Amino acid sequence: MKALDTNNLESWYASNFEKSLKGRRILFDDIQPIIEKLTAKFEKNILGYSESGIPIYKISIGSGHKKVLIWSQMHGNESTGTKAVFDLFKFIASNNIDNKEITTQILSNCTLEFIVLLNPDGAIKFTRENANNIDLNRDAVNRAAVESNLLRDTLDSFNPQFCFNLHDQRSIFNVEGTPNPATISFLAPSEDIDRTLTNGRKETMSVIVAMNELLQQLIPNQIGRYTDEFYPTATGDNFQKLGHNTILIEAGHFKDDYDRDITRKYNFYALLQGLLFIANNSTFSNYLPYFDIPNNDNKFLDIIYEDVSTGTEAENKLEDIGIQVKFKVENGKLISYEDIEQKGDLSNFYTYNRIKKDNLKFFDLKLSNS
């Protein structure tokens, strides 16, 4: 297999990523004009409609015998994977000679189906849940949501060998044993409560190993391994159990990148590397290095205010206040706000933004949940 050249990737990406998609909140109205302009090599179909009637597209490309299903934004407020998928479309459509060689290998060996923005109603509200407050990633068994049924019907009819389930994770996660945020985390979902190491999970892990090896060249020690605790109603766990090797990519924090417009680049690189690895391999047995990827830990904070006075003047109690930056929609616009994640002695937590001021009082911070 020809390995991806990181220098070529970085050079191409700087000028050619999908510039019309930026920011944390990506809506159907943002992606529709891009879909309409996709070249004829992409097959575009409306798969169905969300609970509120917004179209959900399936985009297909490739003619190979290896089938790969990729979906993004099943949680409406997790848009980094959607941006990465459209970066991938730009790469596939590119006339760059190096890109063409990679794209030919992928499309001649694989047939790809993408469901872009599975949860457009949640994207409008900027919530995990759909219009009926159903978490699609916990609806794989009941399938109470129309979006869950669209995904499962596509899985059953397409019968993919591999799936990519694209998510965002909170900025609280660091790479275990390091002060670094988990910019990208991977998971080979468990198939049962015992986390049995099945052949399917080994194959899934081997693809993750290839993606991790690429990313370690670019963001060393910023790649984590998401917990493989078994969730009986979760999508990835159930699809893996059904025999469809499911690779979970969790996009996380990068320094000062609250819009995740740097993280989306590494998400795209991982996706491209994973597809190239699948395209060029007939066996998937190099799984043991998966366990060398450090676990996610939860010791990263967006801001730490040190020695904040949280008591009365008589007590003069001082505590550290750890903040997670969160987002919500107000008057149709996405706004950020500071939310307390931790209080107490936070000397063993990590952050890029540690603030210490004399006579800093708790109520002066004007935090959302104070």
d(CA 11, CA 117): 28
Q: Are residues 353 and 211 in the same domain?
A: no
**CATH at residue 26:** 3.40.630.10
Q: Are residues 170 and 65 in the same domain?
A: yes
Q: What is the pLDDT of residues 121-167, one digit of tens each?
A: 999 999 999 999 999 999 999 999 999 999 999 999 999 999 999 99
User: Mean pLDDT, the chain, as a whole number?
Assistant: 96
Q: Please report, in angstroms and rounded to a whole number, the separation of the first and last CA atoms in the chain.
A: 54
Q: Are residues 98 and 230 in the same domain?
A: yes
What are the φ/ψ torsions at residue 248 (nearest 5 degrees)?
-90, 125
pLDDT of residue 361: 87
Q: Are residues 191 and 232 in the same domain?
A: yes
Total domains, the chain:
2
Buried b (16+ CB within 10 A) or exposed e, 34-67: ebeebeeebeeeebbebbeebebbbbebbebebb
Q: Are residues 237 and 142 in the same domain?
A: yes
Q: Are residues 226 and 272 in the same domain?
A: yes
Q: Is residue 1 part of a domain?
A: no
Q: Are residues 119 and 244 in the same domain?
A: yes
Q: Are residues 281 and 172 in the same domain?
A: yes
Q: Is residue 370 part of a domain?
A: no
CB 43 within 8 A of CB 59: yes
| Percent of the chain whose predicted confidence (pLDDT) is above 90 | 92
Q: Is residue 201 part of a domain?
A: yes
Please say which residue of 248, 275, 297 terminates a domain: 297
Higher pLDDT, 254 or 361: 254
Query: Token digits for 38?
Result: 């996709």
Neighbours of 265 (CB within 10 A): 23
Nearest to 250 by CA among 181, 178, 328, 150: 181
What are the φ/ψ torsions at residue 287 (nearest 5 degrees)?
-105, -20
Please say which residue of 278, 297, 316 terminates a domain: 297
Q: Is residue 307 part of a domain?
A: yes
Dump strand ranges (E) for the chain.
Answer: 43-49, 55-62, 66-72, 110-116, 162-168, 174-175, 184-187, 223-225, 245-251, 296-297, 303-309, 318-330, 333-344, 354-356
Q: Is the pTM of this model over 0.85?
A: yes
Q: Is residue 192 part of a domain?
A: yes
Q: Is residue 27 part of a domain?
A: yes
CB 253 within 8 A of CB 171: yes
Q: Is the pLDDT of residue 119 over 60?
A: yes
State which amino acid sits at residue 67. Answer: K
Q: Which domain holds residue 342?
A: 303-365
Q: Are residues 221 and 187 in the same domain?
A: yes
Query: Token digits for 368?
Result: 């959302």
Q: Are residues 184 and 328 in the same domain?
A: no
CB 284 within 8 A of CB 207: yes
Q: Are residues 275 and 333 in the same domain?
A: no
Q: Are residues 186 and 324 in the same domain?
A: no
Please say which residue of 297, 331, 352 terminates a domain: 297
Q: What is the pLDDT of residues 273-311, one digit of tens each?
A: 999 999 999 999 999 999 999 999 999 999 999 999 987
Q: Is residue 76 part of a domain?
A: yes
